[in-house]
């Protein structure tokens, strides 16, 4: 059995939480594709050209402990604009999506570019204010010193860059189900996602 669940949406919308919960519920593998771009971004902050950083990416790069910082998030969205960087990461993501046993991938272009044939496509979104509040809480809980206004500015800047780029811009696939978590709890969003996958498994 191979079933692909594509979960896209803007920064801090709850994609990761939903993707992990769906993967755990069904025993599917999960790939947070943002980590690939973050790892490339982190390497460019060390001076490596973006294309080379993407083409020589190593599994160990994905376990660096600085990938969740705001600086790396911005660097990730800057390298994500470069078509050669996206191309270098494509095969790995597609192979992951079609592995036996089912896969959940979350990112920005999974339902539109990486897996246009995914059996389930979700687009998870929320207002920028709500997303910034969630990210602020997440970062401060990890002990990072950040200002809420800066987190909001970071989220808005990344959204804009992600939506306006020419190659694989952030947008819902035509056949994606939109889950707006502005006033929907993450638990309710997880339940809705699980129900969609259940329906696809029965089809
Ligand atoms: O999801 P996350 O916030 O970790 O993603 C970091 C950045 O990586 C995003 O702002 C986006 O620019 C880029 N990205 C992308 N395509 C994906 C996943 C992430 O362009 N599939």
By percentage, how much of the chain surpasses pLDDT 70?
A: 100
Q: Is the CB of 77 under 6 A from ligand 1?
A: yes
CATH number, domain containing residue 134: 3.40.50.300
Averaged pLDDT for residues 28-55: 98
Does 127 map to a domain?
yes
Question: CA 148 to CA 150: how far, in whole Å?
Answer: 5
Q: Is the CB of 162 under 6 A from ligand 1?
A: yes
Give the Å distance between the CA of 39 and the centre of ligand 1: 11
Averaged pLDDT for residues 64-91: 96
The residue among 81, 176, 67, 186 whose CA lies nearest residue 133 is 186
Confidence band for 1, pLDDT divided at 50, 70 and 90:
confident
Does 91 map to a domain?
yes
pTM for this predicted structure: 0.96
Residue 113, pLDDT above cutoff 90: yes
Residue 5, pLDDT above cutoff 90: yes
Averaged pLDDT for residues 178-199: 96
Averaged pLDDT for residues 85-110: 97
Q: What is the pLDDT of residue 17?
A: 96
Q: From residue 14, give the alpha-carbon distance in Å to each of 7, 64, 154.
A: 10, 22, 16
**Average pLDDT taken over every residue of the chain:** 96
Does 149 map to a domain?
yes
CB 4 within 8 A of CB 105: yes
Q: Is the CB of 139 under 6 A from ligand 1?
A: no
Give the Å distance between the CA of 100 and the centre of ligand 1: 25
Question: CA 181 to CA 112: how far, in whole Å?
Answer: 21
Residue pLDDT, tens place only, 132-166: 999 999 999 999 999 999 999 999 999 999 999 99
Averaged pLDDT for residues 48-55: 98
Q: Which residues, at least 6 apart from 203, have a Cβ–Cβ distance to it below 8 Å?
A: 119
Give the Å distance between the CA of 202 and the centre of ligand 1: 31
Confidence band for 2, pLDDT divided at 50, 70 and 90:
confident
* 121 SS3 class: strand
Give the Å distance between the CA of 76 and the centre of ligand 1: 7
Does 96 map to a domain?
yes
Does 154 map to a domain?
yes
CB 18 within 8 A of CB 189: yes
Q: Which domain range does residue 64 map to?
A: 4-198
Question: CA 16 to CA 140: how far, in whole Å?
Answer: 18
Q: What is the pLDDT of residue 156?
A: 96
> Which residue has tokens 């970062």?
139
Counting the structural domains of the chain, the total is 1
Does 130 map to a domain?
yes
Question: CA 120 to CA 129: how far, in whole Å?
Answer: 28
Does 136 map to a domain?
yes
Residue nearest to atom 3 of ligand 1 (CA): 11
Does 203 map to a domain?
no
Q: From residue 104, give the alpha-carbon distance in Å to each of 156, 174, 197.
A: 26, 19, 10
């Amino acid at each position: 059995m191979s079933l692909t669940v594509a979960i896209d949406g803007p920064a801090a919308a709850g994609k990761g939480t939903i993707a992990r919960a769906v993967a755990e519920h069904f025993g599917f593998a999960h790939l947070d594709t943002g980590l690939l771009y973050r790892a490339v971004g982190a390497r460019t902050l060390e001076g490596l050209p973006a294309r080379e950083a993407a083409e020589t990416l190593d599994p160990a790069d994905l376990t660096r402990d600085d990938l969740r910082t705001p600086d790396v998030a911005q660097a990730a969205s800057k390298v994500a604009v470069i078509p050669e960087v996206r191309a270098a990461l494509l095969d790995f993501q597609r192979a992951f999506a079609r592995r036996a046993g089912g896969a959940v991938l979350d990112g920005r272009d999974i339902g539109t570019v990486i897996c246009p044939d995914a059996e389930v496509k979700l687009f998870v979104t929320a207002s920028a204010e709500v997303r910034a509040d969630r990210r602020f809480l997440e970062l401060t809980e990890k002990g990072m010193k950040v200002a809420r206004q800066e987190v909001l500015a970071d989220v808005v800047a990344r959204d804009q860059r992600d939506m306006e780029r020419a190659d694989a811009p952030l947008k819902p696939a035509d056949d994606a189900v939109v889950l707006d978590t502005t006033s929907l709890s993450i638990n309710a969003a997880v339940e809705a996602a699980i129900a969609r996958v259940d329906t696809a498994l029965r089809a």
